[in-house]
Amino acid sequence: MKCKPTDSQTRTPAPRYVLTISGSDSSGGAGMQTDNRAILAGGAFPLNVLTAVTLQVPAGVIAVKCLPAAFVEQQLRVLLQAYPVTAIKSGMLGNAVIARRVADVLTDFPEIPYLLDPVLRTTCGYPLLDCTGTLIVRECLMPRATLTTPNLDELAILANRAIPDNDAMIAAGRVLASDTGRPLLLKGGHRGGSYSRDWLLYPDGQRKVFSARRVDSINTRGTGCALSALIAARLARGDRLEAAITYAKRRLGTSLRAQAQHDWRGAGPAMIENPIDP
């Protein structure tokens, strides 16, 4: 006689959990909202630690309120206890006290891959992290990160030097990778040209370029959030670093191309895969 399969035999396995530590963006274009869409697109399930609430509209940032650091730490510790988290991603941390608490908790979980998007300000220049917080990112979080993904502005601030050209970008990235002992993905997206090139730099000086045809679009909000969240999702699913980056660039490119046609009355979001009917 054949036994009926038990419930646990018929159920599919639990999803891969990616925990994001980020700020909410009321306009939905960046921050936690984008992280969640990108993580789902990458085939994992998002868990959320909220650091701040930002009030944003197409004209810009209206207000930012950071949550109490002790509550951010509580969210992080409770979720890490309750779920088998397979990757962590951080974006907007908001202030130095929160950055410090996050750094302390992450040192207690050294085995979990950690993607660090060093969000310092919005594309329009509104600050999302203070100076002491930036130092904590540089001194405590970068040495813990599996990968840090600075754009050119963030690289200039973290390396404390001007980045006038490609050579200066690679030189600054090399110093940071060697000082922190961890790889960096330098996002050359703001540099212009018909290709968008990102440089993966390892602490031992090895490097690899990821190149994609530039998408001509103003709908690029949250591009950095989406890229790092997609990489985190793939690491959570067991991809190696370079495979995860290749996947993330391709998937983001597909979304950017789809969004380029949409009129968002200003800069629209980069990462949406489901068609939205007018």
| Cβ-closest position to ligand PLP | 31
Applying CB under 6 A, which part among 38-46, 157-165, 218-226, 257-265 lies near ligand PLP?
A: 218-226
Contact letters for ligand PLP, residues 224-243 (x by CB under 6 A): xx------------------
**Residue among 58 and 181 whose Cβ is closer to ligand PLP:** 58
Q: Catalytic residue positions?
A: 187, 220, 222-225
**Residue among 86 and 223 whose Cβ is closer to ligand PLP:** 223
Residues 6+ apart with CB under 8 A from 143: 180, 181, 182
- Written in H, E and C, the secondary structure of 74-137 is HHHHHHHHHCCEEEEEECCCCCHHHHHHHHHHHHCCCCCCEEECCCCECCCCCECCCHHHHHHH
**Residue among 152 and 203 whose Cβ is closer to ligand PLP:** 152
Beta strands 60-66 and 85-90, pairing class: unpaired
**Residue among 46 and 224 whose Cβ is closer to ligand PLP:** 224
The dihedral formed by the CA atoms of 180, 137, 229 and 112, expressed in degrees to the nearest 10: 60
Question: How many CB atoms within 10 Å of residue 69?
Answer: 19
Applying CB under 6 A, which part among 65-73, 117-125, 179-187, 190-198 lies near ligand PLP?
A: 117-125
Local structure of 57: helix, strand or coil: strand
Q: Tell me which of 25, 73, 198, 239 binds ligand PLP, using CB under 6 A.
A: 25
* 95 lines the binding site for ligand PLP (CB under 6 A): no
Q: Tell me which of 87, 92, 115, 169 binds ligand PLP, using CB under 6 A.
A: 92
* 66 lines the binding site for ligand PLP (CB under 6 A): no
Q: Tell me which of 17, 18, 31, 268 binds ligand PLP, using CB under 6 A.
A: 31
Q: Tell me which of 91, 133, 173, 188 binds ligand PLP, using CB under 6 A.
A: 91
* 30 lines the binding site for ligand PLP (CB under 6 A): yes
CB of 78 to ligand PLP, least distance (A): 22
* 100 lines the binding site for ligand PLP (CB under 6 A): no
**Residue among 87 and 129 whose Cβ is closer to ligand PLP:** 129
Contact 129, 119 (CB under 8 A): yes
d(CA 218, CA 259): 9
* 268 lines the binding site for ligand PLP (CB under 6 A): no
Residues 6+ apart with CB under 8 A from 232: 18, 20, 39, 42, 44, 87, 88, 89, 113, 115
Q: Which residues bind ligand PLP (CB under 6 A)?
A: 22-23, 25, 30-31, 54, 56, 91-92, 119, 122-123, 221-225
